Structure 1
Amino acid sequence: MKKKEIKKLKAKSSKFIDVLETSIEKAIEDARLNADIDYDKEWDFLINSKDAIVRALARFDNIQNSAENFDGQPTISFGVNGTMNLFQKSAFTSGDIPHLNADTILSQQIVYQNINYYIPNAFLSARKKRYLLRKDDLVKGVERLGFDAERDVIVAMNLNIYGIDDFNKIEDNIIKIPSTGVRNVLFVLPKADLPILKHKDLDIDEQKEHQLGILDEDRKIYGSLIDLTQEANSKHRDKWKNSNIDFATDLKVQLTIAFITEVVWKANANVVQINIENSLKEQGIVNELSDIEELVPKREDKN
């Protein structure tokens, strides 16, 4: 065979391989585009997300006020919500590349960034007084508040008790709650001034708009998975038009875990914040024990 013919044959072979490769890639993309959502993977996402949110909210049950309402007293409220996000469609179809933690990644984000951030931060907004104490003065400071275990409660967030020798005096009276934003802080308040955590129903129109189904009746948790490659869901794609995503090539689903938890405080709740001094941080002027006022001032006897 002549060199010229061999050269032509190689050129044809190369072109054939290129065409074949393009055809295979198109077939794969078409298969991904038209692939149905795997029901089991969708169910795993909804149920595992619900379980994670329920567990996270349950960790705050011990700061729930025993009263159902504050009987018309002025209140202040702070809301904690779920969220929605985009994820690769291939994580929720059969026979494609598996995605690690696709069924829990959204709920983990909600727990860390929403629940464990905003509920603890509501204490900061409700507090009436703040003290900065040395470690050696922490327990004495709580005692100078006139702490009464029958009447009052101590709520702690990311507390470092190393070096506090007398901490055992108050340890059994402390409620620890998780927090991603508050560290080494105590809040002391009457039990009657603890907040009420209300789990609210979502508006019906919002449920319909985002195709939300109820996942947990007690905590009012809703969820949905919407395939954005389907033309029937084009209105949902349009909401993401400013995200610089080409939905024709970057196949996505919209994941939603929705809830509204309202943290309701009495407007006059007597919340005292105690920060522990950290020599490595600028925290302001350290208080002396003589600066501390009683949590509930004693009434003077009238003769």
Structure 2
Amino acid sequence: MQLLSINNIVEICVPLIIILLGTAYPIILNNISNIGEKYHSKYIIALFKQERFYNQSSFQWILYLSLFLLIPLIFKFEPLFGWDNWFINNSANILVSLVTALLLFIFFKWIKKISIYNSNIDSLLDYIIKRYENSNGKTKEYAFMSINDIAIYAVNTKDIDLQSKLLKFYFNYVIKYRKEYNNTDKELNYDKEFYGLIRRIIDECVENNYKDLLPLRYSAINGELLIPYDTQSIKISEDTYNNLWYNITLVRNNTDYISKFWAHSNQYFWTGLKEIVLNFDKSNEKEFKEREQERKRFLEFHYAIGGLLLYSKNYEALKYIFSYSQQSPPDYKLLPYKMRDIFDWIEFFRNENKQIPKFIIGFSRYQFPNLDSVGTNKQVVFWICRYLCVLFIRQYKLSKSLYYSNITNQPYLNDLSLMELYNWKESITYFKFCLNKVLEDKEALEQLELWNTYELKYSEIDKFIIELEQSIDEHISDKKKRAELSQEKIEQFYASSKEILENCLEEYLSINNPEDFDTDFKVTFLGQRTLSNKSFFVDDDIPCMGFDSSLANLISRYSIPRDIYNSFLIAKTNRYLLNNNNLLEGMDRIIQDKEDIVIIVFSGGYETTQKIENSKYKENVIYLPAIDFKNTIFILEKSNLPRIEKSDISEEVKQELQVKKISDKWNIYSTVIDINLPKNEAIKEKWIDDINYYQKENELQILLGLLFVGHIKFKSDRKIIQININNEFEELGTENKLSDLEPL
């Protein structure tokens, strides 16, 4: 057999190149453009374009190279530099042959890849899954999205085998994903594409109203893909809850779909979120508390589902979840067992302080369809609480059963704090409002087979609510009586009072005479005591702004200024009534040529102050507050300023009122006494002015005291001139003539 010459090979290569370029290439391009069209997937073609070496781009470049190498054959160029040997003389033919062989090799490999992407769905899925497992980056992302598109195709074509294979892949994906997060502190959030797939599957099921839930549909509908059974005990993330909630809103009107989800949730709560028993030594306390929070979050979600179903009027689904149990006697895992559970959840949803940051600025994480305006949160809470009221009536239906004979008993309240009891008191009001709305909808209760229960038990229901309100009030009263005063709040009272009173008394040092002197004329100013609400000084009770400063402010803003002002009124030696027009002239007549004078202005009005500030006396003025009078001026020599002295309270008072010294500088003492205690009965009898009023109206009050003794002394031979300013709005009497004024 004679071998082909090099020219014969070229004669074969050239037609091959032409055939590939003119015929095969356009046909293949057409087949490529149809990849993924059958499955309505744009990601399968994108994945195909990620193929390396044996792809369209590689084939194109080799084809272009082969066409370029035909040029030397056509024009038969002479060898360069005079080279003359067999290889050089046949180099163009050799290159064309090699490139053609490479072109054919890539062509057949390319055809094989195309055939895989155009082969039957099972082979294509196997290939894409392998690509997903053995790649990363964009290729891995496109592979996963392609698998998702095939999953939607399998859902719509009812291909059981394909769905089973896909379900196995997704379960492996979930288990592997969860293992990666099992030993980390990160919150487990699946890929957004996975959340999107489940949403698409459910959307397809709802839109086409599929009755027969094949494997993949079933696992998407019942939530098993997002909250699977495993032994890893991984916390459900908020992203997962948000996606589950969206899925529930899609199926809310389909009783069959809701029943599948509820059954899986019931089983998951029973097994996957099984209660952890706290060890005797509390070595597992952290795990115990975390599991409690997880269970509470899971129940919260499912109570919200009940509210959504009631809002959507899906009474068949509600009847199903009211009766669903996997045990005998029946045990309703996701429904309340005791009345305490119902009112705890009403308080949880109603109380906005507990909803933050879960419910932010009226935007609820449990969005109800067609409720998307401002105030949505209130409507959502209203429907969830209505659902809880329905469960409240259901308790009386269950009470007929031997197994549930005690479920309508009054809730245990002893473990609630004062603040929690106050919140419950508010919740009862909201509960009654929601219950009335439920009872107004007789049709809904009839659909839920609860109207007859209400008619038979309405007297018991009314009695229960009345007794619960009374019980809350009694517990509040008892807690308040027995509550101990907060040492932290008492110390805060001491610190605030000290600062306020010291600052107040410091202000009057500007009129204090540095010279000590003997005199029989002095005015005494004292501290005060008062009754205050006990709850202000108790932890976990109704907070009150200013509880720590109210008494000190009263003394500093009223009592002390009044006493200082009154001491000058008593100490004055002469008094005149002028007006703003002749004030300065009158002051000139009184002061004349004296230099060391002081002008003390109590509560000067705007016009009076401006007159003095623009006069030659502005450097001699001291402004002080006054309570009862305005525009009162006292003129005296500096040597006649009063002497302010501190004294001390008696030892008897110190012991009797259990005082604590809070200021050494001014000998200020303070006391906070719970006069409700039997040991303080004598203090209550002696130090409360109107004991009958206290016993009748202010049973739970405490005695506050800020005690000090101060003296304002004036010299016996003093001369102090008082000037009052008359005005058109307040007639003070007959004004003095300027000639009436005597010099200081």
TM exceeds 0.5? yes
Please list every run of 5 or more consecutive structure 2 residues that lacks an aligned counterpart in the other structure: 1-396, 398-450
Matched, 1:46 2:46: no
Matched, 1:242 2:691: yes
Deviations 1:105-125 (A, max 9, x none): 111211233101111121111
Partner of 2:474: 26
Q: 1:65 to 1:165 in 2, by over 3 A?
A: closer
Q: 2: CA distance between counterparts of 1:221 and 1:25?
A: 39
3-state SS of paired residue (1:183): coil
Q: 621, 630, 635: which one pairs with 1:183?
A: 630
Which deviates more from structure 2 when the two are superposed, residues 26-35 or residues 144-153?
144-153
Deviations 1:182-218 (A, max 9, x none): 3112111111111111111111101111111111011
Identity %: 28
**Residue 173 of structure 1 aligns to which amino acid in structure 2?**
N
Partner of 1:256: 705
Which deviates more from structure 2 when the two are superposed, residues 156-165 or residues 272-281?
156-165
Matched, 1:294 2:294: no
**Residue 203 of structure 1 aligns to which amino acid in structure 2?**
S
Q: 90, 105, 108: which one pairs with 2:553?
A: 108
- Coordinate RMSD, CA, aligned: 2.5
Q: 1:232 to 1:31 in 2, by over 3 A?
A: same
Deviation of the 1:263 alpha carbon: 0.8
Q: 646, 653, 656: which one pairs with 1:199?
A: 646
Partner of 1:140: 585
Q: 2: CA distance between counterparts of 1:204 and 1:249?
A: 30
3-state SS of paired residue (2:646): strand
Partner of 2:465: 17
3-state SS of paired residue (1:259): strand
Task: Kindly indicate whether the alpha-carbon contact (under 8 Å) linking 1:121 and 1:182 is maintained by their aligned counterparts in 2.
Answer: no
**Residue 580 of structure 2 aligns to which amino acid in structure 1?**
K
Q: 719, 735, 744: which one pairs with 1:270?
A: 719
Please list every run of 5 or more consecutive structure 1 residues that lacks an aligned counterpart in the other structure: 296-303
Partner of 2:533: 88
Deviations 1:231-274 (A, max 9, x none): 21111222336342237983111110111111111122100011
Matched, 1:162 2:162: no
Q: 1:11 to 1:151 in 2, by over 3 A?
A: same
3-state SS of paired residue (2:463): helix
Deviation of the 1:9 alpha carbon: 2.6
Q: 2: CA distance between counterparts of 1:47 and 1:148?
A: 47
Q: 1: CA distance between counterparts of 2:611 and 2:525?
A: 37
Q: 2: CA distance between counterparts of 1:179 and 1:39?
A: 35
**Residue 116 of structure 1 aligns to which amino acid in structure 2?**
P
In terms of fraction of residues, the more helix-rich structure is 2
**Residue 206 of structure 1 aligns to which amino acid in structure 2?**
V
Deviation of the 1:282 alpha carbon: 2.4
Q: 1:248 to 1:134 in 2, by over 3 A?
A: closer
**Residue 250 of structure 1 aligns to which amino acid in structure 2?**
E
Q: 1:121 to 1:4 in 2, by over 3 A?
A: same
Partner of 1:36: 484
Partner of 1:67: 515
Task: Kindly indicate whether the alpha-carbon contact (under 8 Å) linking 2:584 and 2:611 is maintained by their aligned counterparts in 1.
Answer: no
Give the number of aligned pairs: 292
Question: Normalising to structure 1: TM-score of the pair?
Answer: 0.88
Q: 1:91 to 1:168 in 2, by over 3 A?
A: same
In terms of fraction of residues, the more strand-rich structure is 1
Q: 1: CA distance between counterparts of 2:589 and 2:476?
A: 71
**Residue 44 of structure 1 aligns to which amino acid in structure 2?**
Q
Task: Kindly indicate whether the alpha-carbon contact (under 8 Å) linking 1:149 and 1:173 is maintained by their aligned counterparts in 2.
Answer: no
Q: 2: CA distance between counterparts of 1:25 and 1:284?
A: 58
Q: 1:38 to 1:247 in 2, by over 3 A?
A: farther
Matched, 1:97 2:542: yes
**Residue 155 of structure 1 aligns to which amino acid in structure 2?**
I
Q: 1: CA distance between counterparts of 2:603 and 2:718?
A: 23
Task: Kindly indicate whether the alpha-carbon contact (under 8 Å) linking 1:229 and 1:248 is maintained by their aligned counterparts in 2.
Answer: no
Greater Rg by CA: 2
Q: 1:82 to 1:165 in 2, by over 3 A?
A: closer
Deviations 1:92-146 (A, max 9, x none): 1111111121111111211233101111121111111111223232222222223
Q: 653, 677, 689: which one pairs with 1:230?
A: 677
Deviation of the 1:290 alpha carbon: 2.1
